[in-house]
Amino acid sequence: MRIEVRQQGGFAGNVRRPALVLETGDCEPALAREIESLAAALPAGGPPGHGADLMRYDVLVDDASGRRTASFFEPNVPGPVRDLLRLAREAGRRQ
Amino acid sequence: MAHRCRNPIFCAVPPYVLDQIARRGSERQRDWALRTLSADSTIRHARAVSAKARGRKGPREGYDAMAAAAPVRRNRVIWDAENGFEITGLKRVRNEDDGPTGDAAVDEAFDGFGATWDFWQETFSRDSIDDESMPLRGVVHFGVEYPNAFWDGRRMAFGDGDGELFGRFTKALDVIGHELGHGVIEDEAALEYFGQSGALNEHFADVAGAMVKQRKLGQTADQADWLIGADLRGPEFEGDALRNMKAPGTAYDDDSLGKDPQPAHWKDYVRTLDDNGGVHINSGIANRAFYLLATNLGGHSWEAPGLIWYDALRSPQLTPTATFRHFARLTFRAARLRYGRDTREPQAVREAWAEVGVRWE
Digit-coded pLDDT (tens) for A49-75? 899 999 999 999 999 999 999 999 998
Q: Does the pLDDT of residue B9 top 90, yes or no?
A: no
Q: Does the pLDDT of residue B55 top 90, yes or no?
A: no
Chain A hits for B205, Cβ within 8 Å: 52
pLDDT digits (tens, 9 = 90+) for B307-342: 999 999 999 999 999 999 999 999 999 999 999 999
Provide the pLDDT for residue B5.
34
User: What are the CA-CA distances from residue B243 to residues B160, B240, B300 (Å)?
Assistant: 20, 8, 20
* Interval B124-144 mean pLDDT: 96
Q: Does the pLDDT of residue B349 top 90, yes or no?
A: yes
Distance (Å, whole) CA B210 – CA B294: 12
Across the interface, whether the CB atoms of A12 and B148 are under 8 A apart is answered yes
Helix B304-314 × helix B173-188 angle, to 10°: 40
The DSSP output letter for B256 is T
Nearest by Cα to B84 from A56, A34, A86, A19: A86
pLDDT band at B4 (very low <50, low <70, confident <90, very high): very low
Q: Which of B280, B300, B303, B326 is catalytic?
A: B280
Q: Does the pLDDT of residue A90 top 80, yes or no?
A: yes
Provide the pLDDT for residue B344.
98
Provide the pLDDT for residue B126.
97
Across the interface, whether the CB atoms of A14 and B261 are under 8 A apart is answered yes
The DSSP output letter for B169 is G
Distance (Å, whole) CA B163 – CA B49: 48
Provide the pLDDT for residue B160.
97
Provide the pLDDT for residue B167.
96
* Helices assigned H by DSSP within B91-169: 104-124
Helix B304-314 × helix B344-355 angle, to 10°: 80
Q: Does B169 touch chain A (CB under 8 A)?
A: yes
pLDDT band at B214 (very low <50, low <70, confident <90, very high): very high
- The domain ranges of chain B are 15-188, 195-355
Across the interface, whether the CB atoms of A86 and B148 are under 8 A apart is answered no
SS3 state of residue B35: helix
Distance (Å, whole) CA B262 – CA B270: 8
Q: Does the pLDDT of residue B243 top 60, yes or no?
A: yes
Q: Does the pLDDT of residue B181 top 90, yes or no?
A: yes
Distance (Å, whole) CA B8 – CA B31: 14
Q: Does the pLDDT of residue B13 top 70, yes or no?
A: no
User: What are the CA-CA distances from residue B224 to residues B8, B114, B299 (Å)?
Assistant: 20, 21, 11
Across the interface, whether the CB atoms of B151 and A77 are under 8 A apart is answered no
Q: Does the pLDDT of residue B244 top 70, yes or no?
A: yes
* Interval A10-31 mean pLDDT: 91
Number of Cβ atoms within 10 Å of the Cβ of B58: 9
Q: Does the pLDDT of residue B347 top 80, yes or no?
A: yes
SS3 state of residue A42: coil
Q: Does the pLDDT of residue B41 top 80, yes or no?
A: no
* CATH number of B15-188, picked from 3.40.30.10, 3.40.50.10800, 3.10.170.10, 3.10.310.30: 3.10.170.10
> Rounded to two decimals, what is the model's pTM?
0.84
Provide the pLDDT for residue A17.
83
Across the interface, whether the CB atoms of A52 and B147 are under 8 A apart is answered no
pLDDT band at B131 (very low <50, low <70, confident <90, very high): very high
Q: Does B194 touch chain A (CB under 8 A)?
A: no
The DSSP output letter for B232 is G
B257, B165 Cβ separation under 8 angstroms: yes
Provide the pLDDT for residue A16.
83
The DSSP output letter for B191 is -
Q: Which of B179, B188, B192, B345 is catalytic?
A: B179
Across the interface, whether the CB atoms of B150 and A54 are under 8 A apart is answered yes
Residues 310-329, chain B, touching A (beta carbon < 8 A): none
ipTM above 0.95, yes or no: no
Q: Does the pLDDT of residue B21 top 60, yes or no?
A: no
Across the interface, whether the CB atoms of B147 and A82 are under 8 A apart is answered no
Nearest-Cα residue of chain A relative to residue B182: A52
Chain B hits for A51, Cβ within 8 Å: 150-153, 182
Nearest-Cα residue of chain A relative to residue B254: A15
Q: How many CB pairs under 8 A join A and B?
A: 90
* Interval B176-192 mean pLDDT: 97
Chain A hits for B262, Cβ within 8 Å: 14
Q: Does B353 touch chain A (CB under 8 A)?
A: no
* CATH number of B195-355, picked from 3.20.20.70, 1.10.3720.10, 3.30.460.10, 1.10.390.10: 1.10.390.10
Q: Output B171 or B59, whichever has higher pLDDT.
A: B171
SS3 state of residue B244: strand
* Interval B64-93 mean pLDDT: 84
Across the interface, whether the CB atoms of B243 and A14 are under 8 A apart is answered yes
Provide the pLDDT for residue B361.
84
Distance (Å, whole) CA B276 – CA B278: 6
Nearest-Cα residue of chain A relative to residue B153: A51
Distance (Å, whole) CA B125 – CA B283: 26
Facing B257 at nearest CB: one of A11, A13, A16: A16
Chain B hits for A17, Cβ within 8 Å: 257
Tell me if residue B179 is catalytic: yes
Q: Does the pLDDT of residue B30 top 60, yes or no?
A: no
